[in-house]
Structure 1
């Protein structure tokens, strides 16, 4: 009997995460800061504006506080005169990605945590923050983060 329990536990530990996930929830897209949200479910709307001003590039607001488990619909607006993007991630991930973007400045993102917008355009990201921590959002187009285009998300 003990051998069967031990073998069952060993087998369960060796299975990939999504197989062990509870019904209707896959951990396949889960990241350190959460999972893609469900656009069909209600969530808090947070407006984020991208712009250039006085030789600086910025997000307004640049600091956000969010409750753990909260789904947020980011309503994005590029009020600037050039393309901008927003990439939500850990600071380490975004800094690493910025190095890749410097090598490939025209890199397109097709990720649920990122959106690139042409001037005067709008877009949305729906995200559910499942973990407590401090996270980053940045414009990773070369030179933009360095010009001040980044912000902090505090998940409590």
Structure 2
């Protein structure tokens, strides 16, 4: 991300706090308003009526996800149920390795950064969150907890989207 793009993104985050939810304020993974249907390299927000499969993902304070590798078929809409059995906040963020690394660096600089994207689920200790995602592009992607220190500790998983 260029410095000007980063500055623009940060300015937008500072000017639109009402449209976002802080990492620490959300514990059910829901969105505060309508879901933005924006195509990403790893897919697009899904609709509940299109869900064909549910995948449960456990998060723990040993900085691991279970399962840590997931395979889905192109065109599948998945309901992810995230369980945080730890004592600290965790999150599940889908993306490319490059985007996750960039976001993790940004989170180090702005740990209280507010955002609410359909490919992110923030889960308070002992809570559960849900996320629905439509995988319409083949490829290998990742999911990670980008809270400061978690990504660096290895709280990362792989998601492989294979042709139908």
**Highest RCO, 1 vs 2 (Cα 8 Å, sep ≥ 6):** 2
- In structure 2, stretches of 5+ residues that fail to align are 1-36
Question: Residue 41 of structure 1: CA displacement?
Answer: 2.6
Q: Give the TM-score normalised by the residue count of structure 2.
A: 0.74
SS of residue matched to 2:92:
strand
Give the corresponding residue for 1:99. Answer: 105
2:10 maps to none
Alignment partner of 2:59 out of 44, 50, 70: 50
Output the CA distance in 2 between the equivalents of 1:106 and 1:59. 23
Paired residue total: 127
Q: Does 1:34 align with 2:43?
A: yes
Q: Alpha-carbon deviation of 1:127? A: 0.2
1:131 matched to 2:137? The reply is: yes
Contact 1:109–1:115 (8 Å) recurs in 2 = no
Equivalent residue, structure 2, for 1:81: 87
Deviation at 1:94, TM superposition (A): 0.4
- Larger Rg belongs to: 1
| Pairwise CA RMSD | 1.4
After superposition, where does 1:15-30 map in structure 2 within 5 Å?
A: 29-30=38-39
